[in-house]
Amino acid sequence: QVQLVQSGAEVKKPGASVKVSCKASGYTFTSYGISWVRQAPGQGLEWMGWISAYNGNTNYAQKLQGRVTMTTDTSTSTAYMELRSLRSDDTAVYYCARVDPVVAGYDYWGQGTLVTVSS
Amino acid sequence: DIQMTQSPSSLSASVGDRVTITCQASQDISNYLNWYQQKPGKAPKLLIYDASNLETGVPSRFSGSGSGTDFTFTISSLQPEDIATYYCQQYDNLPQMYTFGQGTKLEIK
């Protein structure tokens, strides 16, 4: 069965970086894209960006350009999202999601990773 | 960037009621519109893709319609387990880009 398993919760200081992993199993990793979505406490869903696991092409949300990098390791079927220069308003649950190439919907999601930014 | 306006932001209805949520795009997005359900503490779940197609395994009381700029999500007969927040999501394939609506929190009256 398809699974996306994310790394554990992180606590970071303002200005630091965080790297969240998303290990995929149960499907051919390179046949799908991965998107990253975050959700601040009590708030809605915010799209952060997308990466093709096939060729590594990326597209990031404009507001995060320059601070976010998404990568994949096809040898381990793992996607990564790194966010730099963390601020308190980056405190959120971060999700990875598989992107169905046919319908472009997010058909499987990771369990979420809470990143807390606090001094 | 395309903006998505979802309404209402919250909704209270009784079991058995018909519930409707709308999503309006700031420009024509054809049928590139998905709907998700999110229960507290859980990841979202895809319900409807391409505006009107039911994801496999999703109950038939859920439906979606619309194209262009105006879209509707409907629960034909509200069940207690439908209590959740619902989001629309617009997407563009060239390049891959997505925008979520603000969400609609659905509660039982």
pLDDT digits (tens, 9 = 90+) for A4-57: 999 999 999 999 999 999 999 999 999 999 999 999 999 999 999 999 999 999
Phi, psi of A17 (to 5 degrees): -120, 160
Classify residue B41 by burial, with Cβ atoms within 10 Å: 0-12, 13-18, 19+: exposed
Mean pLDDT of chain A: 96
- Assign A63 to helix, strand or coil: helix
**Residue A104's pLDDT band (cuts 50, 70, 90):** confident
Smallest CA-to-CA distance from A32 within A42, A24, A40 is with: A24
* pLDDT < 50: residue spans in chain B: none
Give pLDDT, residue A102: 81
According to the model, what pLDDT value does residue A80 have? 98
pLDDT for the residue numbered B94: 76
In this prediction, residue B41 carries a pLDDT of: 94
Query: How crowded is residue A46: how many other Cβ atoms within 10 Å of its Cβ?
Result: 18
- How big is the A-B interface in CB pairs under 8 Å? 68
- Whether chain B has a CB inside 8 Å of the CB on A4: the answer is no
Query: Closest Cα of chain B to A102: distance in Å?
Result: 10
For residue B32, the chain A residues in CB contact (below 8 A) are 104
Percentage, residues of chain B above pLDDT 90 = 92
pLDDT tens, residue by residue, B23-36: 999 999 999 999 99
**Rounded Cα distance, A119 and A60, in Å:** 27
H-helix or E-strand spanning residue A11: strand A10-12
pLDDT of residue A17: 98
Q: Do B43 and A109 touch (CB under 8 A)?
A: yes
Q: What pLDDT sits at residue A23?
A: 98
pLDDT of amino acid B92: 86
Length in residues, chain B: 109
8 Å CB contact between A98 and A107:
yes
At A64, the amino acid letter reads: L
Question: Which residue has tokens 């880009």?
Answer: B97
pLDDT at residue A101, as a whole number: 81
User: What is the rounded distance in angstroms from the CA atom of residue A94 to the CA atom of residue A69?
Assistant: 14
